[in-house]
Structure 1
Amino acid sequence: MSIEARLAELGLSLPPAPQPLGQYTAASQAGDLLFISGQLPLRDGRVVWQGQVGAALTVDQGRQAAELAALNALAQIRQHAGSFDRLDHIVRVEGYVASAPGFFDQPAVLDGASGLFARVLGDKAGHARTANSVSQQPANASVILVVIAQLTRA
């Protein structure tokens, strides 16, 4: 089953790939690796999930933020590669979770992104991951994902 078909089967649709918030590119390719700049939980140009997890947001809301950021990362991959046909797999996910003092469940929040990748990409989803805790982020985003994907030659 294609990735597009799997998205449809799951009732998901990819948003347009978000534009960078500053003077950088959304994706940069080096060899067969595609480096995706930090993706926020954006929908229609607006950060949907704002604030610190453990204060303004619950772990479940943080997971939803991570899922939305993951959808935006997939949109960047599709835009850069032209389709998902060239996606070999997700290599690495680095997640930043805006966290209240004393909140230590960042891995559970980022499971939202990892779980979404697994449901949508199947065996192309396996990745290494790092969970980071920060006090605040650009646009007051609760989660930011940095993704590295491997592409096959065109």
Structure 2
Amino acid sequence: MVSNKGSQPGSAERRLQDLGIQLPATPTPLGSYVETVQTGNLLFFSGMLPIVNHKPKFVGRLGKELDAEAGREAVYIAALNVLAAAKEHLGSLDRVTHVIRLGVFIATSGDFFDQPRVADAASDLFRDVFGIEKTSVRQVIGIASLPLGVPVELDVIFEVAE
């Protein structure tokens, strides 16, 4: 996962290289929807899941079948999928001018309370790629279940240069 480096000089594309991050293949819809929609200078993403090769990488709830570290890895994979979808849509992540909103839905058992630390995996990745000055507001919600039994889903909005 990404280190706690904060803002680094250079473009988002350069930061990816410097951090040694290779984006996965762009995720494809698992149903009747599209991954991204741009309206004006806002880029909206469909709920991003921890999907690898069109299959869930993790299944289960945090605090029951999975621990917080597995949750962080699942969030990180979902965030990489966001970046891959953004790059596919925009051509370059350098067009992202701000991460506007990050919503993190986490399927948990009733007694799991470490949702903020799990969500930090996406916040840290976006901060390290785009810089601290482009950091988003965030909402973290624990819920009973998510599609395909995955433990996390991300709801993201980017502001982009036209």
Band of TM-score, shorter chain: over 0.9
2:140 is the counterpart of 1:122: no
2:75 is the counterpart of 1:66: yes
Asked if 1 retains the 8 angstrom alpha-carbon contact of 2:13 and 2:94, the reply is no
2:32 pairs, out of 23, 26, 40, with: 23
C-alpha separation in 1, matches of 2:11 and 2:39: 25
C-alpha separation in 1, matches of 2:148 and 2:43: 25
Classify the secondary structure of the residue corresponding to 2:130: helix
C-alpha separation in 2, matches of 1:83 and 1:52: 34
C-alpha separation in 2, matches of 1:98 and 1:144: 9
1:95 pairs, out of 104, 112, 120, with: 104
TM-score normalized by the length of structure 2: 0.89
C-alpha separation in 1, matches of 2:136 and 2:86: 15
The letter for the 1-side match of 2:78 is A
2:80 is the counterpart of 1:51: no
Asked if 2 retains the 8 angstrom alpha-carbon contact of 1:90 and 1:124, the reply is no
Runs of 4 or more, structure 1, over 3 Å off, are none
Matched with 2:119 is 110
Asked if 2 retains the 8 angstrom alpha-carbon contact of 1:94 and 1:146, the reply is yes
Spell out, residue by residue over 1:47-96, the C-alpha distance to the aligned partner (whole angstroms, 9 max, x if none).
11211011111111111111111000011111111111311011001111
Asked if 1 retains the 8 angstrom alpha-carbon contact of 2:97 and 2:134, the reply is no
- Structure 1 unaligned segments of length 5 or more: list them: none
Identity of aligned residues (%): 40
> 1:138: how far off?
0.8
C-alpha separation in 1, matches of 2:72 and 2:134: 17
- Structure 2 unaligned segments of length 5 or more: list them: 1-9
C-alpha separation in 1, matches of 2:64 and 2:136: 29
C-alpha separation in 1, matches of 2:45 and 2:115: 21
Aligned-residue CA RMSD in angstroms? 1.3
Matched with 1:145 is 154
The 5-angstrom pairing of residues 2-13 of structure 1 reads 2-13=11-22
TM-score normalized by the length of structure 1: 0.93
